[in-house]
Amino acid sequence: MRGRQGVEIYIQVNGQIQEREVIDLYRANNWSSAEKPEQLLPALRNSHTLVTARFSGVLVGIANAISDGHLVVYYPHLLVHPEYHRRGIGKKMVEAMNAIYGDFHQQMLTADGDAIAFYQAVGFVRAGKTEPMWIYAGSEH
């Protein structure tokens, strides 16, 4: 995938991540989990699948999946650095996940704000008459 000035956006499944680059990406998106790196990094690294997007080696996107490996998958995080929004990076990361989980019985996520339109554009729909519920220690929603 081409980025600025023709440089490739590199999408990788289960690649390496470094603490500083992850925290910088989460802070750029104002996600409160950036303030808990001792939990965030192991959570990402121990996900069933981790997808990264890099521009000239710089981490500009990340997504993860939690799954039973057969029937159900949940996508807790998908972030693209704000300077790289609207370049198809999020869509490419969803496509990478779909290559793995596309035949699963249930693919789930929670979306709010501008993310709702994005997820609808890549095929997600409201889950029937369900009501989102959680016990949440974050602050950004």
Give pTM, 2 decimals: 0.89
Residue 96 lies in a domain: yes
Asked whether residue 126 is domain-assigned, the answer is no
Average pLDDT over residues 85-114: 95
Residue 137: inside a domain, yes or no?
no
138 falls within a domain: no
Q: Quick one: pLDDT at residue 2?
A: 47
pLDDT in tens, 24-78: 999 999 999 999 999 999 999 999 999 999 999 999 999 999 999 999 999 999 9
CATH number, domain containing residue 109? 3.40.630.30
Residue at 38 is within a domain: yes
What three-state secondary structure class fits 107? strand
CA dihedral 101, 83, 26, 104 (to 10 degrees): -10
Residue 134: how many other CB atoms lie within 10 Å? 8
Domain presence at residue 80: yes
Q: Report how many domains make up the chain.
A: 1
For residue 65, what are the domain limits? 4-121
Which residues contact residue 113 at a Cβ distance below 8 angstroms, ignoring those fewer than 6 apart? none
Q: Is residue 44 part of a domain?
A: yes
Average pLDDT, the chain: 92
Q: Which two tokens stand for residue 32?
A: 């409160």
Match 């997600």 to its residue by tokens: 124
Which of these ranges, 21-35, 89-103, 113-127, has the smallest mean pLDDT?
113-127
> Cα–Cα distance between 60 and 110 in angstroms, integer?
21
* Domain assignment present for 129: no
- Under 8 Å CB-to-CB from 85, ≥6 apart: which residues? none
pLDDT band at 138 (very low <50, low <70, confident <90, very high): confident
